[in-house]
Amino acid sequence: MTKPLQSVKKASTEPVEETLTHLRRFDKSLPMSLLKAHEAVLKMFIPHLRAHDLSTQQWRVMRALAEVDALDVSELAEACSLLRPSVSRIIPNLEGRGIIRRKACSQDSRRSLVSITQKGRRLIAQIAPESEARYDWIESRFGRHNLYELYDLLHKLVEALDDAPLESGDVVDERDLRAG
């Protein structure tokens, strides 16, 4: 059973400096550690994607669509961990380049379904060997066991925090979670 989050909301009588000495060290901050890891990994892939005139967000959309028949915009945003407005800006670009297609949903005309085209699949097939080579390089530096353990731990972390109870009054702005 998960215990609810509780914050310390007492008025501190300690001087500021004494309070700061009890604060977790900045280099042990989980958000900062994850951000630095994210940036280190992206540095490996961004130049390669730019060479194909793609952003990391566009690549996520293409990869998500390559594994399904079609998704609506909300499902696609969720699958890619992007905001819906970001996905709505990405779609016309990729659609204009013939990489994806959008069509009205036959069951609900308010929804549109997005799918990848053969041209998009060929582009993924063209990019995939270099992408996999970069994964191989990461694995050679970090270790296969470490990489798979990291995947496992990150999935467990997401599962553990996904349903974390918030305190009343806590508001999480989705833009803070999925910017970019």
- Model confidence pLDDT, tens digit, residues 97-155: 999 999 987 777 678 899 999 999 999 999 999 999 999 999 999 999 999 999 999 99
Q: Is 60 exceeded by the pLDDT of residue 3?
A: no
Which pTM was predicted?
Answer: 0.78
First CA to last CA distance, the chain: 34
* Percent of the chain topping pLDDT 70: 83
State how far the Cα of 147 lies from the Cα of 98, in Å rounded to an integer: 35
Q: Is 50 exceeded by the pLDDT of residue 180?
A: no
Topology, domain 30-161: Arc Repressor Mutant, subunit A (1.10.10)
Q: Which amino acid appears at position 63 of this protein?
A: R
In this prediction, residues 74-87 reach a mean pLDDT of: 95
Q: What is the pLDDT of residue 76?
A: 97
